[in-house]
Chains A and B, each alone.
Chain A
Amino acid sequence: MPLAHPDTQAPMPLPQATYRGGSGIGMSDRDIDNRQHWFEQRLSPLLDRLYGCALRLTRDPDDAEDIVAEAVGKAWSRLGELRDPQCFDGWLLHILNNVFISEWRRRQCRPQRPATAEDPSPDELDSSTFTLFQQLHQPFLLWWGSLEEQFFNSLLHEDIQQAIDALPDPFRVTMVLVEVQGYSYSEAAHLLGIPLGTVRSRLSRARALLQKTLWEQAGDAGVRPDDGGTGRQRP
């Protein structure tokens, strides 16, 4: 995904027909209408993505709506800074991530709320080498047929969402930036203000934990053969 970082370079103007000049001074009503129309046209197909990413980051529908609204407001007021109109999607998502991260940091600074530990609990350590692939491809299970196929067929959108939401904050946020949104490790490190090595270690733990949760969910759904393979009926 092409990312446009709003603060780094001189703004590139939007197409002449929709936007003239950075300050907006001297814009006619028609210019304003065009500019708003341009903004809406691009925002509308992006809203589910913005909301989805916000929801994965915050885990709370109300908070997610708040940060989407704040990001949209910021994007509108900083539209003149958008260098390449083609990068609108990445630019707006980037603003949304920044809105979330500022709020997240602010909340972490509150003394009454315990900071999320970076050190893994013994249980997490246990999970740090877990891979779903190995579980689904154990040699003695081959008689079972394609367990992997069965796993993917029964894997619901909500299962993944729940598994992501269950990750501890720092792991979840890093994973959402890299795996869900496609940021590079160094971009994620820059956004979060953490070293590159921390991004790598958080990602690796996040993946192992996520896969372990999905494996446990698969057991609940009756996909795993050691659960008798009765298979809970899934929609």
Chain B
Amino acid sequence: MSARPLDCEEVIERLFEYLDRELDERQIADIEHHLARCRDCFTRAQFETRLRARVSAAGTVTAPPRLHQRIRQLLDRFNDGEANTHH
């Protein structure tokens, strides 16, 4: 941990880098030391974590049947291509 503990403003400033795992071990320890003792910053961190999980989930969408079919045809073509090349 650093000689001087971080204040709330410093923690909020680095919060996203912390959540994005962009900080080094010592910086992480400093932030977590503060979060374990400050309800306001802890609540904020919880909120951003929760929102972030929902944002990340937006990157998964049920692929339409048409795409499944297209991939199926593509894979079949790969197989034919390989077979023709190596026969």
How many A residues face the partner with a CB closer than 8 A?
53
Main secondary structure of the interface of B (DSSP, over half): helix
> Are A203's CB and B55's CB within 8 A?
no
Number of interchain pairs (Cβ within 8 Å) = 110
Give Cα A206–Cα B12 distance, bound, in whole angstroms: 17
Q: Any chain B CB within 8 A of the CB of A69?
A: yes
The answer to whether residues A180 and B70 also contact, given A24-B82, A52-B61, A203-B16 and a CB cut-off of 8 A, is: no
Q: Any chain A CB within 8 A of the CB of B2?
A: no
How many B residues face the partner with a CB closer than 8 A?
35
User: Using an 8 Å CB-CB cutoff, how does the interface string of A174-213 with B read, 1 for contact, 0 for none?
Assistant: 0110111110110000000000000000011001001100
Could you give 20 example pairs across A and B, Cβ below 8 Å?
A27-B82, A36-B75, A50-B63, A51-B62, A51-B64, A52-B58, A53-B59, A61-B64, A69-B70, A69-B71, A72-B71, A155-B54, A160-B54, A161-B61, A164-B58, A179-B52, A180-B56, A180-B59, A184-B22, A210-B55
Residues in B lying within 8 Å of A, measured CB to CB: 16, 20-22, 43-44, 47-48, 50-52, 54-64, 66-68, 70-71, 74-75, 78-79, 82-83, 85-86
